[in-house]
Amino acid sequence: MTLEGCSKRFGERLALRKATLAVEPGETVVLLGPNGAGKSTLLRLAAGLLRPTAGHARIDGVDAVDAPRAMRAGMAYAGHRSQLYRGLTARENLALHARLHGRALDLDAALAAVGLADRADERIDGFSRGMLQRLALARATAHDPVLLLLDEPASGLDADGRALLDGALMDGHGRRTQLVASHDADLPARLGARAVRLDAGRLA
């Protein structure tokens, strides 16, 4: 996954300035920076959910916004919001995800892995922020993506949830490409990952 001189402007505001970053296959990179630094914008560009104002965001040499279906099948992105349907149950949300990915997933195992086995059939509009984050993590990792993009995945998680998240990231380390935006300055050391700092839209 590469960003080559990527800039993104929203109206008058330049959220990202000529960012260049390469994440090698199997590598884990932690993106650190204060609120408003441009971390979410960078991740959304990497996922192909935003088109850069200048430069290129590429996955395997293909512009991320034009990623074909086969490439999207191996990607996962979890942002600030859970990307789930609030009126559905946890199980129904994962079942829809499996259906869209054409995979027969073990939903019980996926829910148990994030500690939600006993809440599987509850509608998620009653879930706390931390429970939504857990389910979002289950959704993002359920289809075993080769590229995982996570935007502040620890926000709202309790200590057990953070341990689950660390476990999932360590499990993927070396096995898939991971780019994680975080405020946790200790996370790179815990994961043995490369840290990259972003400040006011500029990569340090």
Partner 1 sequence: MIGAALALARVKLVLELRRREVVFAMLLFVAATIVIVHFALRADEGAGPRAAAGMLWAAVVFTAVLGLLRAFAAEAEEGALDALLLAPVDRAAIWLGSALAQLGFLVVVELVAVPLWWLLFFQEGGPEPLPVIAALLLANIGIALVGTLAAGLALGARTRDVLLPVLVLPLAIPLVLAGVTATYGAFGEEGGGFGPLGPLGFLALYDLIFLALAWGTSEHLLGD
Interaction of residue 47 with partner 1, rule CB under 8 A = yes
Shortest gap between Cβ of 197 and partner 1 (angstroms)? 25
> How many residues interact with partner 1 (rule CB under 8 A)?
33
- Nearer to partner 1 by Cβ, of 4 and 92: the residue is 92
Pairing of strands 13-22, 2-10: antiparallel
Amino acid at 17: R
CA 185 to each of CA 64, 117, 182, 194: distance values in angstroms, whole numbers, following the listed order = 28, 31, 8, 11
d(CA 175, CA 195) in angstroms, rounded, equals 18
- For residues 136-195, which are near partner 1 according to CB under 8 A? 139
Selected from 132, 164, 165, 187, the binder of partner 1 by CB under 8 A is 132
What burial class does residue 114 get, using C-beta atoms within 10 Å of its C-beta: 0-12 exposed, 13-18 middle, 19+ buried?
A: buried
β-partners of residue 194 are: 29
Provide the 8-state DSSP code for 64.
G
Selected from 14, 96, 112, 170, the binder of partner 1 by CB under 8 A is 96
Quick one: which segment of 15-23, 43-51, 165-173, 179-187 binds partner 1 (CB under 8 A)? 43-51
Interaction of residue 97 with partner 1, rule CB under 8 A = yes
Provide the 8-state DSSP code for 11.
T
Interaction of residue 88 with partner 1, rule CB under 8 A = yes
Using CA atoms of 115, 119, 122, 123 in order, give the dihedral in degrees to the nearest 10: -20
Interaction of residue 85 with partner 1, rule CB under 8 A = yes
Interaction of residue 40 with partner 1, rule CB under 8 A = no
Quick one: which segment of 24-32, 41-49, 157-165, 173-181 binds partner 1 (CB under 8 A)? 41-49
Binding interface with partner 1 (CB under 8 A): 47-51, 65, 69-70, 72-73, 75-77, 79-88, 92, 96-97, 99-102, 123, 132, 139
